[in-house]
Amino acid sequence: MMFLSVGVRFEANVEALNMVETAGNYTKHRRVPYLVEEDGKLKTIYVPAISGESLAHAYQEHLVKEALRMNLPVCEDCHRGEFYKSMNKVHLQKKISPIPNDPRKIEEAIIRKCVVEDVGGFLYAEKPPVRRSSTFQVSYALPIKSMALFATAEPQLHARHAQLDTSSKKGNVSEQMIYYVETGTALYGFVFNLDLDGIGVSAITSEPVLGEEEIKKRREAALMALFRMLSSAQFGAKLSRFFPVGGITELVVSVTEHPFVVTSPIYEGYAEKTEKRLEVLKSFNEDYFYTKTSEDKLPEEVLKEVIEYIREKEYI
Ligand SMILES: [Zn+2]
């Protein structure tokens, strides 16, 4: 058995990764209430945040690319980045027709046809309903606690200009449209978990649906998608004009036999705490692997080390 947990800290200056609403010419950044301590007292402040849904969407987009690169199946909807996930008959019929009555057969057909739904789960909301939990989990990205008071979401003024060639007597007029985009600046932390044992395995019977080689390839695609997402910083919205200035500052990864989640990187000393918690596992005779960034180890080197460890264990 193998469970992966990743803690990420990244600095983002002037980002618009997760916008929630537009009111007139004002686009708002997602914000969440946050409990912080100031002068020994607790208080609530509102800080910029990036939803787990937003990070999951980005991860699945990378998964599509990795799966296709490895010649693994991806359904038509997921290929387009529209993650309907076989939610109803219309979408399921593209994978299997006629639709069987047995939920196990429905799940199997979806797993076979699409790596994204195998790894990321789905909900078929018809009769009979079939639900498959995602094998990966992702938290919100939130400002790290000790610096949350300095995290900001400030509006930036932008103007779009257009020269209008009107045939009126006034001749050319230039038109200006003013708009505001709220941008966040913070040192963020989030956690990403991946249960490698769920891939290619039925959530209903706990039996493998695919052959061993196919399962190994899909696990590798799931790992590579994470690698690409982190190393390319391709996640979130508005990247074309608000690509965040910054990057990953710290990364910790644990690989354990049973589900184990690293201490959230929003806390100070999270890496040391994670290590101590893992030491306790060792006393129960549980094998684990742990690695993190350091002055001479870059995030990509950490991820490579993890992939090599998993390959050594013949899990991919
Ligand atoms: Zn799909």
User: What tokens appear for 245 in the block?
Assistant: 């200035």
Mean pLDDT in residue range 99-103: 96
Q: What is the pLDDT of residues 126-165, one digit of tens each?
A: 999 999 999 999 999 999 999 998 899 999 999 988 776 6
DSSP-based three-state secondary structure for 241: helix
C-alpha 295 – ligand 1 centre gap (Å): 40
C-alpha 78 – ligand 1 centre gap (Å): 4
C-alpha 103 – ligand 1 centre gap (Å): 17
Q: Which residues surround ligand 1, an ion (CB under 5 A)?
A: 75, 78, 114, 116-117
- Looking at residue 162, what is its pLDDT? 76
C-alpha 67 – ligand 1 centre gap (Å): 11
* DSSP designation for 166: -
pLDDT at 167 over 70: no
C-alpha 16 – ligand 1 centre gap (Å): 28
What span, in angstroms and rounded, lies between the C-alpha atoms of 76 and 311? 30
C-alpha 92 – ligand 1 centre gap (Å): 9
User: Which of the four pLDDT bands, split at 50, 70 and 90, describes residue 166?
Assistant: low
pLDDT at 108 over 90: yes
Torsion of CA 137, 65, 199, 141, to 10 degrees: -10
User: Which of the four pLDDT bands, split at 50, 70 and 90, describes residue 176?
Assistant: confident
C-alpha 178 – ligand 1 centre gap (Å): 40
C-alpha 195 – ligand 1 centre gap (Å): 19
Contacts 24+ apart (CB under 8 A), 247-250: 247/10, 247/11, 248/8, 248/9, 248/10, 248/293, 248/299, 249/9, 249/10, 249/11, 249/187, 249/293, 250/7, 250/8, 250/9, 250/292, 250/293
Q: How far is CA 64 from CA 61, 80, 118, 238, in A?
A: 5, 9, 12, 20
C-alpha 115 – ligand 1 centre gap (Å): 7
C-alpha 86 – ligand 1 centre gap (Å): 7
- Looking at residue 185, what is its pLDDT? 94
pLDDT at 171 over 60: no
C-alpha 74 – ligand 1 centre gap (Å): 6
C-alpha 114 – ligand 1 centre gap (Å): 5
Backbone angles phi, psi at 12, to 5 degrees: -135, 115
Average pLDDT of the residues of the chain: 94
- Looking at residue 38, what is its pLDDT? 86
Chain centroid offset of residue 69 CA: 20
What span, in angstroms and rounded, lies between the C-alpha atoms of 52 and 58? 10
C-alpha 83 – ligand 1 centre gap (Å): 7
Per cent of the chain over pLDDT 90 is 91
